[in-house]
Chain A
């Protein structure tokens, strides 16, 4: 990829800053505090691991920071702009997701009636890229799955599907990529390849990448690690 996905100006800023983020589910006796007063900064060009046991609140934090499910308390800045405060959106969240964020899921979640190329192309179209098909082909080539561009998702291997999903996440040159257990469905070798790919994307493209993972064998890939427990963030050494 000749063209960087994030600009130099974006890279000089914190891609994301969260302060005092809290979220609860249920009421009364059933109230669960999913996130408690979490503050976090994701610098551009870094790949960050988010560790923790099941139920620690990792996915809830990804949803909150990804502006999918806003936290009830706390503030979120993206590229220096305050975009959410105490459960209120201060910008068009759909536009923000389209222009600045990329998501990779535990399952690839490719749209089954679109080919690999079309899965990426649709994201490029949504992001109003000037030449969506060409952009899709470039991304598939970057992720080394160009040879499967015309294949339907059902005919792709797990690793190929996840690479296509990552290509889709990169479609609109996001400043921030959230990956929620992206290697859970992959074997050890392919899992490591995907994690290394995130490191490459962060360092080559200047994007901030937050990866939720249980896999401690790949921690050497990450620039920074955080651990969560009972809805709280416990910083660990890089």
Chain B
């Protein structure tokens, strides 16, 4: 005969109400764990979707996600020429906020190295990968755009040809993938007035130089919109993604790249590390501290309720002691009630979470590991919370049963 269950059945209303309150607290604890897992998944999703063996970035930077990295486009060809490299792809990354289909949206614009990289490795759920060097986009479904939607960006028309699921930046912004050239076009879009003003400033700067004074014909050339100075640098890449011929080439290729003065190189695992240490670390600590406060609050709540339930049973405990109940039976009754309260709260939390978390603006990942971890934590918290009640129950004097 389980006294804990029988007592709870007798006081079902109070138990259910308290368990619901505890369940709400555990829901938030579960959400904290899920949001952290979601942060990690979001932060590393794009790195993994890119499918590269090595990431070459500007030297002494931690680009392209955790830091700004600017590489000359020639690096792509130089890397491709290294022994052991099967393929080198240009890559750009920038977070923008633009009008998309009539709404101002924030997104991460990723440039893929056309024609080697057409986005075939991205987690497509609808449509297709890129087939043209210009004018096509793959967008994340969280932006709410459909395949076939036409978007105007940088005064050009782009067609949505594919949709991905949960392809987000470490900041939680949906990813839009285009060719590197289109990404640079969109990124460097400037208003017409700014372009005209820059042309005039260029002409004025030329007039103050010996070159401008000795060759006046240059002034007409420099304001020609179709003319590009041959000495001007091409738009930079953020990184070059390296696909190796075999994994055993990694060390050799890395050693070669390490001797170059203008680049740093990271593996995918190191990119994960940079993102998790740099981008996710502070939110992770914040979530952990928040979860800690909630766990302590849950413990205090369970402890207070179990203690009050134990106080209410003082006379019954005295009777049980008087008729010879062993200490472990008395303690088990209190601990089991705390466990039942904790487990009920946890079940309510899982139920609420499974229904509500999909509506959160950021991804909440409820992995089996997280569920098991929070479940184990609930048991530990419930056990600790019962100690106050157990201590009281064991102190109850059997003689109180004979009073009044």
Nearest CB in chain A: distance from B330 CB, A: 10
Please, which residues of chain A bring their CB within 8 A of the CB of B3? 113-114, 122
**Does A127 belong to the interface (CB within 8 Å)?**
yes
> Which residues of B308-340 are within 8 A (CB) of A?
315-316, 319-326, 329
Residues of chain B contacted by A127 (CB below 8 angstroms): 324
Please give the distance in Å from B15's CB to the nearest CB on chain A: 11
Q: Is there an interface contact between A63 and B401, defined as CB atoms closer than 8 Å?
A: no
Task: Please list 27 pairs of residues, one from A and one from B, whose beta carbons are closer than 8 Å in the complex, sorted by A's number.
Answer: A59-B402, A62-B402, A68-B322, A68-B398, A68-B402, A97-B322, A97-B324, A98-B323, A103-B322, A103-B401, A103-B402, A105-B401, A109-B401, A111-B316, A111-B319, A113-B11, A114-B3, A118-B1, A121-B1, A122-B1, A126-B320, A126-B323, A126-B325, A126-B326, A126-B329, A127-B324, A171-B323
A19 within 8 A of B: no
B359 close to chain A: CB less than 8 A: no
Query: Given the complex, which residues of A lie within 8 Å of B10, measured CB to CB?
Result: 112-113
Which residue in A63, A118, A121, A126 is a CB contact (below 8 Å) of B399?
A: A63
Decide if B9 touches A98 in the complex (CB within 8 Å): no
Q: Does B17 contact A (CB under 8 A)?
A: no
Interface residues on B, range: 20 to 34
Shortest distance between the CB of A135 and any CB in chain B (Å): 13
| Pair B6/A114 contact, Cβ less than 8 Å | yes
Shortest distance between the CB of A87 and any CB in chain B (Å): 15
Instruction: Determine the chain B residues whose CB is within 8 A of the CB of A112 once the complex forms.
Output: 10, 316
Alpha-carbon distance A102/B401, docked complex (angstroms): 13
A94 at interface by CB-CB < 8 Å: yes
Contact of B315 among A63, A109, A114, A122 (CB under 8 A): A109
Task: With a 10 A CB-CB cut-off, give which of A62, A97, A99, A118 has the most chain B CB atoms.
Answer: A97
List of A residues within 8 angstroms of B404 by Cβ: 106-107
| Residues A123 and B323 in contact, CB atoms below 8 Å apart | yes
Instruction: Tell me, yes or no, whether B7 is within 8 Å of chain A by CB.
Output: yes
Report if A105-B6 is in contact (Cβ < 8 Å); known contacts: A112-B316, A126-B320, A168-B323: no
In the complex, whether A180 has a CB less than 8 A from a CB of chain B is yes
Q: Which of B9, B316, B324 contacts A126 (CB 8 A)?
A: B324
Question: Do residues B329 and A105 form an inter-chain contact, with CB atoms below 8 A?
Answer: no
**A12 contacts chain B at the CB level, 8 A cutoff:** no
Measured CB to CB, the nearest residue on chain B to A171 is B323
CB-contacts of A166-186 with B (<8 A): 168, 171-172, 180
**Interface check A41, CB cutoff 8 A:** no
Chain A residues within 8 Å of B, Cβ to Cβ: 59, 62-63, 66, 68-69, 94-95, 97-99, 102-103, 105-107, 109, 111-114, 118, 121-123, 125-127, 132, 168, 171-172, 180
Chain B residues lying within 8 Å of A94, measured Cβ to Cβ, are 321, 324, 326
Cβ-closest 5 pairs across A and B: A98-B324, A113-B10, A113-B7, A97-B324, A111-B316
In the bound complex, CA of A118 to CA of B3 (Å): 10
Q: Is the CB of B324 within 8 A of A122?
A: no
A59 and B7 alpha carbons, distance in the complex (Å): 30
Residue of A nearest to B6 (CB): A113
Please give, as numbers and ranges, the residues of chain B lying within 8 Å of A172 by CB-CB distance: 324
A179 to chain B, nearest CB (A): 11
How far is it, in angstroms, between the C-alpha of A95 and the C-alpha of B11 when the chains are bound? 31
Task: Give chain A residues whose Cβ lies under 8 Å from the Cβ of B325.
Answer: 122, 126
Residues of B contacting A109 with CB < 8 Å?
315, 319, 401
Give me 7 other A-B pairs in contact (C-beta within 8 A), A102-B323, A103-B402 excluded.
A68-B322, A68-B402, A99-B324, A103-B401, A107-B404, A122-B325, A126-B323
| A63 vs B321: C-alpha distance when bound (angstroms) | 14
Residue of B nearest to A165 (CB): B319
- Residue in B1, B9, B11 whose Cβ sees the most chain A Cβ within 10 Å: B1
B6 touches A97 (CB 8 A): no
A10 to B15, CA, bound (A): 47
**B399 touching A69 by the CB < 8 A rule?**
yes
